[in-house]
Chain A
Amino acid sequence: MIKTQHLTKRYEALTAVDDLSFEVNPGEVLGFLGPNGAGKTTTMRMLAGFITPSSGTASICGHDVIEDPLGAKAALGYLPEGAPVYGEMTVGGFLDFIADLRGLSGPLRRERLAHVIERLQLKGVLAQTIDTLSKGFRRRVGLAQAIVHDPPVLILDEPTDGLDPNQKHEVRALINDMARDKIIVISTHILEEVEAVCTRAIIIARGRIVADAAPAALVARSRYHNAVSMKLGQATQLAAARAALAAVPGVESVEVSEREARLTALPRAGAPILAAITELAGARGFDLQDLHQESGRLDEVFRSITA
């Protein structure tokens, strides 16, 4: 379990992290969201024991990061932002070094090293120096380093930043794989990622928690939650359709995109309006190309909370 109590980091002129208290339990994948400079990295660095909090504290699996830093670090796998590594080392040499520091030995060591090399597909580059690797491979080496000792807690700072879509998919699959029995905290500003892997999201802005909920619940806060979007075959019907939609009970407002010939009806307080609109579209004989209900837009929620 990760537990923070009034975690605070002040620099001379600015409070980077301001009185953060939260708990994360096994099985949870916590997404740490926020605009750049919101305090995500500072918080993660305090959890990982790289920065000392100005006040408050945090504990990893019962090990206080200030009182028992080595215990906390032993329970933790950490991928720093940008995945720094020793560039002049070979991949194999680097993983050996980390396994040494993690105190792995004997058959367990061989098994763990084989596992991470297999899982992150590093077999082909073991003898290469890390400096010669592509960004995707370097990130994988960073991830291998974080999980080689099979820690109960994983903290990953922007694990998919700068990766191509295939690599992002692989990293997310890896996180989902490990999610069952671990505590995982990832920071990201890619919102789709939160919906793809996280069971819970904390949004922070200016060092404070501004939202803490399941991604679905956050999405439900969107103005677009349960909104109905339709695309018409003929742009000429737009004006009439708009008037008709606005008259449906429960519809708060209607947005029109003329270029796409698309209408979006926003419900009042998330009320279900799909049935009424479907019926209306049939009765009026609209030339429908597409009709669907939106679950909400996380980016819109994110902006409205953090702006």
Chain B
Amino acid sequence: MRNVGIIMRRELASYFATPLAYVFILIFLVLASLFTFYVGGFYERGQADMESFFGFQPWLYLFLVPALSMRLWAEERKSGSIELLMTQPVRLWDAVLGKFLAAWLFTTIALALTFPLWVTVNYLGKPDNGAILAAYLGSALLAGGFLAVGSCMSALTRNQVIAFILAVVACFAFLLAGFPMVLDLFRGWAPLPLVDAVASLSFLAHFESIAKGVIDVRDLLYFAMLIGFFLLATTIALELRKAD
């Protein structure tokens, strides 16, 4: 576990050593505000809540998180530094977890920097701050899910652009798993329980219930298992392909 922390700190520091961190945070904040005020109609709705902010989070993450996750492993493989890392006395799982946690912590920092919006809502009215906190938690979990998927895609290739595209497509499929666009692919032939199972994998369904302020253990478990599964898949992909 000690190594997880060491690797996480190094990763996180390297985000801030390059313009990456600042560009990401800036674009995240600008886009989140644009969506909230122009598309979501923050003022026009006349309600003291942050639904117009959280409603667009999944679509913002869909492109921004893969941009962050694409470098996780593809870059290490491209530069060869993976050979350096893997020949230190470190378990592969520790490295996978450490790098994932660094990216997750980073998105959480970006998310936390949207706090002026929360201050604004509280200035304008009396929102349900418990629900807002729950929605922040849901948003962080959603980012974690996207990152875990992206980490796995990044482990599959040494090309960051391919890693980005794979991650966007995979995240999009997960996002829409509850919608006809994806479900119709299964309805024709698959038994109903399988269709239901696919529908239950939807990021959106699980996120939306948390975003409404309802913290259900099943939703938390869903994100925990999803992240665990894709980090395990990352580890296996690396084990098989790290030296290619």
Does A249 reach chain B (CB closer than 8 Å)? Answer: no
Q: Are A51 and B243 in contact (CB under 8 A)?
A: yes
A-B contact count (CB 8 A): 62
- Cβ-defined partner of B87 (8 Å) among A78, A86, A88: A78
Q: Which of A24-32, A69-77, A269-277 lies on the face that meets chain B?
A: A69-77
List B contacts of A89 (CB < 8 A): 10, 13-14, 17
Does B217 reach chain A (CB closer than 8 Å)? Answer: no
Q: Are A101 and B88 in contact (CB under 8 A)?
A: yes
Range, interface on chain A: 20 to 34
From residue B93, how far is it (CB to closest CB) to chain A in Å?
12
Q: Are B18 and A88 in contact (CB under 8 A)?
A: yes
Q: Are B14 and A85 in contact (CB under 8 A)?
A: no
- Cβ-defined partner of B84 (8 Å) among A51, A74, A145: A145
Q: A73–B242 Cα gap in the complex (Å)?
A: 17
List A contacts of B83 (CB < 8 A): 45, 50, 80, 84
List A contacts of B242 (CB < 8 A): 50
Q: A194–B217 Cα gap in the complex (Å)?
A: 65
Q: A81–B82 Cα gap in the complex (Å)?
A: 12
Q: Are B90 and A101 in contact (CB under 8 A)?
A: yes
- Cβ-defined partner of A86 (8 Å) among B3, B14, B91: B14
Does A92 reach chain B (CB closer than 8 Å)? Answer: no
Task: Determine the main DSSP class of B at the interface with A.
Answer: helix
Q: A215–B91 Cα gap in the complex (Å)?
A: 38
Q: A132–B80 Cα gap in the complex (Å)?
A: 18
Interface centre among B18, B84, B90, B91 (most CB of A within 10 A): B84
Q: Are B80 and A82 in contact (CB under 8 A)?
A: yes
From residue A72, how far is it (CB to closest CB) to chain B in Å?
9
Tell me the nearest residue of chain A to B7, going by C-beta.
A101
Tell me the nearest residue of chain A to B15, going by C-beta.
A88
Binding site for A on B (CB under 8 A): 3, 6-7, 10, 13-14, 17-18, 79-81, 83-84, 86-91, 242-243
Binding site for B on A (CB under 8 A): 45, 48-51, 70, 73-74, 76, 78, 80-82, 84-89, 93, 97-98, 100-103, 129, 145
Q: Which 6 A-B pairs have the closest CB atoms?
A: A84-B80, A80-B83, A73-B89, A74-B89, A100-B6, A48-B87
- Interchain residue pairs with CB less than 8 A apart (24): A45-B243, A49-B86, A50-B86, A50-B242, A51-B243, A70-B89, A73-B89, A80-B83, A80-B84, A84-B79, A84-B81, A84-B84, A86-B81, A86-B84, A87-B79, A88-B14, A88-B17, A89-B17, A93-B13, A101-B3, A101-B7, A101-B90, A102-B88, A103-B89
